Amino acid sequence: MSSLLTVENVTVQFGGLVAVDKVSLTIAEGEIRGLIGPNGAGKTTLFNAISGLAPTRSGRMIFAGADVTALGAPDRAARGIRRTFQTVQLVQSMTVFENLLLGLHSRADNPLAALFVGHAVNARGATDPMATITRVLDYLDLAPRVDHLVSTLSIAEQRYVEIGQALVASPRLLMLDEPTAGLSPAQVARLDDLIARLPADWNVSIVLVEHVIPLVVKLCHRITVLDRGRVIAEGTGEQIENDPAVQEAYLGERLNA
């Protein structure tokens, strides 16, 4: 597996607080990477740094062979870095279909033509966006909901729409920020199943932030553990579970006593 994303010594600082401290990691093509750590470890900030939302103080990021450190979030999204959020960030007053169209914003449509024929014209002659949207809707079992307002959907369905909004853009890297938050155990199981299939079906790498450790261990090829902004461990699920530094970060001094 060749590497898709390389993060080198990235530091994010808010005033005096170093939220992400010289973090380095490499995500391979087709990999599902878990990102765990106690509250305040810097998981979401690292997500924001990779998506281009949080300004980095030092370090660099190489994505698909190109240095993207200086690029803003929209440019990174256009290159195939997509994400979801801890709290669903969809336009509630739009339908499922319209929200999926939002995910296609980076396509190089002729802006004037786009004004009058929607997304019919594509400068580079890529696949028909409607075909992609149809495929995503079917894949996520959202077809019956296509014309429904997002505000009328359950949280679980909204999370699928958010994943769909990323998938329509054919991303290379999909970052999921606690996608199972607020879901029932049955819904979590279904979502796990979906995440496990994504890399093979959509040719995408996944980075997953999650609190439920057994779930991460089950899903992820490799896991990176953050604590106070630093990487304290990286390895397979089994290695992580037996790592004393990880146990200390999660359980504190009590374990050592």
Partner 1 sequence: MRTLLQNNLVWLFFAGTVALSFTTDAYSQYLMNLVLVYVVIGQGLNLILGFAGMFAFAHGAFMGIGAYVSALLTAKLGVSLLVAMPAAGVAAAIVGALIGFPALRVSGLYLAMVTLGFSEIVQWGIKHWKSVTGGPDGVSVPAPVLFGHRFYGDYPTFYIVVVVALAMTLLAQAIIRSKLGRAFVAIRDSEIAAQCSGIKVARTKVLAFAISAFYAGIGGSLFSLTQSYITPENFGFYQTTLHFCIVIVGGAASLAGPIIGSIILTWLPEVLRNAQALQEIGYGLMLILFVIFAPRGIAGFLIDKGILPRERFSLRRPSLPGRSRPAPQEG
Q: Enumerate binding residues for partner 1 (CB under 8 A).
A: 51-53, 72-74, 77-78, 82-83, 85, 89-95, 97-98, 101-106, 109, 111, 114-120, 130, 133-134, 137, 143-149, 151-152, 165, 169
Contacts for 147 with CB less than 8 Å, ≥ 6 apart: 95, 96, 97
Q: How far is the CB of 253 from partner 1 (least distance, A)?
A: 37
Dist CA 97 CA 126 (whole Å): 20
Nearer to partner 1, 149 or 212 (CB): 149
Nearest to 66 by CA among 107, 5, 148: 5
**Residue 255 vs residues 226, 231, 248: alpha-carbon distances, Å:** 19, 20, 7
Nearer to partner 1, 174 or 246 (CB): 174
Q: How far is the CB of 148 from partner 1 (least distance, A)?
A: 4
Dist CA 144 CA 137 (whole Å): 9
Dist CA 248 CA 256 (whole Å): 8
Nearer to partner 1, 9 or 151 (CB): 151
Nearer to partner 1, 9 or 89 (CB): 89
Nearer to partner 1, 96 or 225 (CB): 96
Nearer to partner 1, 135 or 211 (CB): 135
Residue 141: phi and psi, rounded to 5, are 55, 35
Q: How far is the CB of 71 from partner 1 (least distance, A)?
A: 11
Q: How far is the CB of 118 from partner 1 (least distance, A)?
A: 4
Nearer to partner 1, 56 or 95 (CB): 95
Dist CA 166 CA 175 (whole Å): 9
Residue 59, phi-psi category: left (phi > 0), alpha (psi -120 to 50), beta (remainder): left
Q: How far is the CB of 193 from partner 1 (least distance, A)?
A: 23
Q: How far is the CB of 97 from partner 1 (least distance, A)?
A: 6
Q: How far is the CB of 32 from partner 1 (least distance, A)?
A: 20
Residue 200: phi and psi, rounded to 5, are -70, -40
Dist CA 180 CA 27 (whole Å): 22
Residue 135: phi and psi, rounded to 5, are -65, -45
